[in-house]
Amino acid sequence: MKKHVWRKKIVPYIFIAPSVIFFSIFMLYPIGYSFVMSFQTSVGGEMTFNGLENYRRLFNDAIFLKALKNTFIILAVQVPIMLFLALILAVLLHSSLLKWKAMFRVSFFLPAVTSLVAYSIIFSIMLMNDGLMNQLLEWIGIGSIPWLSHPFWAKVSLILAMTWRWVGYNMVIYLAALQNISEDLYEAASIDGASKVRQFFSITIPQLKPVILFTAILSTIGTLQLFDEPYTLTKGGPSDETLTIGMYLYQTGFRYFDFGYASTIAYVIVVLIAILSFIQFKVSGDER
Amino acid sequence: MKKMSLYVTLTIGALISLFPFYWAFIGATNESGKLFSKQLSFVPGTKLVENVTNLNESIGIGRVLFNSLFVSLTYTIFSLLICTMAAYAFAKFEFKGRDTIFAIFLLSMMIPYHATVIPLFKMMAAFGWLNTYKALILPNLAYPFAIFLMRQNMLAFPNALIEAARIDGAGEWRIFFRVVLPSMKPALAATAIFLFMYQWNSFLWPLIAVSSTDMYTFPVALSSLFGLSRIDYGQVMAGVTLATVPIIIFFLSLQRHFISGMLGSAVK
């Protein structure tokens, strides 16, 4: 009996110990430390406390504000488009009559498997001035588009690339969720004469709401941290038009080695994620 | 008719998904200028060997591939082990602080990776670990999403089996490795894919933690090629293809488990 108690009391801690130790050293400690650093500045190589100075500087920093704006534009346009496409694809693929389901599923998911750097390189080569996209556009008579060198089109390029990469990923999540919706709901709706489109908006979307919220929050977090794509695809250009907060943080920290200020930027991302997640929770909660 | 349009839509979608991979392959097998020539060519060329040879001269493929594979595999094995252990405790034991600790793990998923990167860099510099495998492998071993995924799958494992094994006198480790884990194979495979992909594709941290070229991982090496003022596109596309093929093979060989693992967990 005593052995039993010992087991129940001590064993679980042994099982979680490695995770907790690694997590504390490489996650909790850095999170705390970067919070402290966000109030510090480097004076002659020494970090010294300077109160809210970094935060004040941030909100008067035109480049940061531009990066913030860019990130929000991408967020507001890309995430809804991507999630909607993913939802449509999931519903189409879920259709019971369909053959080769597995093949389609794998094809759509494959982009999500590749490295962000690799796919960004492919896209930047396709989107160059004399690249594939423009040749096709000229061939069908539209003419070429300055994809990577025009402020507007550079953002479009980023959005296109990100959508290509992440639609399949979200689609698989939605597919999983669709399997939990009872067929009875659709049958009842069919009997009542509801069209497929009507069923999609009145049954599928409401039933999937928690999952849609989940993917929306994940995508928001991902977009606020956006780094690899603009770093490779547009290098933040032209003239900082695709600079994201994540990229600005990297530049500040590892090109100018201004660790204090970079930590402040990191904490602004933390706060933004918290606020946006909270809003998304609220919005989806109130409609229930 | 309706069915027809469904297939057409899905096929077009699938082609869009797959085409960039094919285009990278076209680039990898042709000379540099071919991707931009006026006569569009969608046929594989004969320059693959030459491009790979050039790529090897620029970045040392053997070394870079080894770095990426070694780091990703080592990471996947150790992370899978410690995350699964933690998941088991969270799912099958009641202990003081369990819910709080689990909540902290989950909440940390909301913290941007960027917020940890600068202290991590300073830490690694202080330990003298920059430019070592340790710097690449250690930081994310306790990966909260992996713990979450495994825990969700383990919740469904019948407690009665664990109790029965205990009554039979099996030790806790034996129960974990011999009774619980064997029935977790799909979940383990799904989590392994997540971890491997995460590490294989990871860019920001290796970019920061590693500065000597012989410690480069594949994405960092690729990016360094692409940053040059004169870019040999054949070479770059050969690199992209080589970096993508292993992960696709890894995914395809485990994808059945992956999808079912995701069905079982991510959205419960």
CB B92 within 8 A of CB B152: no
For residue range B141-199, list pLDDT tens digits in order: 999 999 999 999 899 899 999 999 999 988 889 999 999 999 998 889 889 988 998 99
**Chain B residues touching A117 at Cβ < 8 A:** 201, 203, 219, 222-223, 243
CA atoms within 13 A on the CB side of A190: 6
For residue range B1-42, list pLDDT tens digits in order: 678 888 999 999 999 999 999 999 998 898 877 778 777 778
The whole-number average pLDDT for the span B103-119 is 89
For residue B267, the model assigns a pLDDT of 42
For residue A196, the model assigns a pLDDT of 85
Which one of A6, A8, A9, A16 makes the best mutation probe of the B interface by having the most chain B beta carbons within 10 Å? Answer: A16
Q: Chain A closest CA to B118's CA: distance in Å?
A: 7
CB A126 within 8 A of CB A133: yes
Q: How far apart are CA A238 and CA A131, in angstroms?
A: 18
Q: How far apart are CA B117 and CA A229, in angstroms?
A: 18
Burial class (CB in 10 A: 0-12, 13-18, 19+), A171: buried
Give the start-end residues of each E strand in chain B.
Answer: none
Domain ranges of chain B: 2-263
CB B65 within 8 A of CB B132: no
Beta-bridge partners for A78: none
For residue range B44-71, list pLDDT tens digits in order: 888 889 889 888 888 889 999 999 999 9
Judge whether residue B247 has pLDDT over 90: no
Q: How far apart are the first and last CA of chain B?
A: 36
The whole-number average pLDDT for the span B106-114 is 86
Q: How far apart are CA B203 and CA B200, in angstroms?
A: 9
Q: How far apart are CA B260 and CA B255, in angstroms?
A: 8
Contacts of A190 (CB under 8 A, 6+ apart): A199
Average pLDDT, whole number, for chain B? Answer: 89
Q: Do A108 and B17 count as a contact with CB atoms less than 8 A apart? A: yes
Q: Do A214 and B23 count as a contact with CB atoms less than 8 A apart? A: no
Position B208 confidence tier, pLDDT thresholds 50, 70, 90 = very high
Count CB-CB contacts under 10 A for residue A285: 10
**Which of B7-42 are b and which e, b meaning 16 or more Cβ less than 10 Å from the residue's Cβ?**
eeebeebbeebeebbebbbbbbbbbbebbbeeeeee
Q: Which residue has the tokens 């997540």?
A: B194
Q: Do B112 and A111 count as a contact with CB atoms less than 8 A apart? A: no
| Per-residue three-class SS string for chain A | CHHHHHHHHHHHHHHHHHHHHHHHHHHHHHHHHHHHHCCEEEECCEEEECCCHHHHHHCCCHHHHHHHHHHHHHHHHHHHHHHHHHHHHHHHHHCCCCCCHHHHHHHHHHHHHCCHHHHHHHHHHHCCCCCHHHHHHHHCCCCCCCCCCCHHHHHHHHHHHHHHHHHHHHHHHHHHHHCCCCHHHHHHHHHCCCCHHHHHHHHHHHHCHHHHHHHHHHHHHHHHCCCHHHHHHHCCCCCCCCCCHHHHHHHHHHCCCCHHHHHHHHHHHHHHHHHHHHHHHHHHHHCC
A277-286, long-range: CB < 8 A, 24+ apart: A277/A217, A277/A220, A277/A221, A277/B110, A280/A213, A280/A216, A280/A217, A280/A220, A281/A213, A284/A209, A284/A210, A284/A212, A284/A213
Among A107, A190, A179, A233, CA closest to B12: A107
Q: Do A31 and B172 count as a contact with CB atoms less than 8 A apart? A: no
Beta-bridge partners for A41: A48
CA atoms within 13 A on the CB side of A98: 22
How large is the C-alpha radius of gyration of chain B?
Answer: 23
For residue B263, the model assigns a pLDDT of 58
Judge if ipTM > 0.95.
no
**Chain A residues touching B35 at Cβ < 8 A:** 125, 131-132
| Per-residue three-class SS string for A192-208 | CCCCHHHHHHHHHHHHC
Among B225, B214, B219, CA closest to B32: B225
Q: Chain B closest CA to A193's CA: distance in Å?
A: 18
Q: Nearest residue of B to residue A10 by CA position? A: B95
Tokens of A93: 């693929």
Of B14, B142, B201, the CB nearest to A19: B142
Q: Chain B closest CA to A266's CA: distance in Å?
A: 5
CB A164 within 8 A of CB B17: yes
Among B32, B70, B77, CA closest to A125: B32
Q: Do A139 and B40 count as a contact with CB atoms less than 8 A apart? A: yes
Mean pLDDT by 10 residues, chain A (288 residues): 68 95 95 92 82 91 95 96 95 82 89 91 91 88 88 94 95 88 87 88 90 91 92 88 93 91 92 90 69
pLDDT exceeding 90 applies to what percent of chain B? 57
Position B260 confidence tier, pLDDT thresholds 50, 70, 90 = low
Q: Which residue has the tokens 């696709």?
A: B248
Position B266 confidence tier, pLDDT thresholds 50, 70, 90 = very low
The whole-number average pLDDT for the span B234-258 is 86
Q: Chain A closest CA to B253's CA: distance in Å?
A: 11
Q: What is the topology classification, in CATH, of domain B2-263?
A: MetI-like fold (1.10.3720)
CB B55 within 8 A of CB B209: no
DSSP state of B21: H
Q: Do A114 and B201 count as a contact with CB atoms less than 8 A apart? A: yes
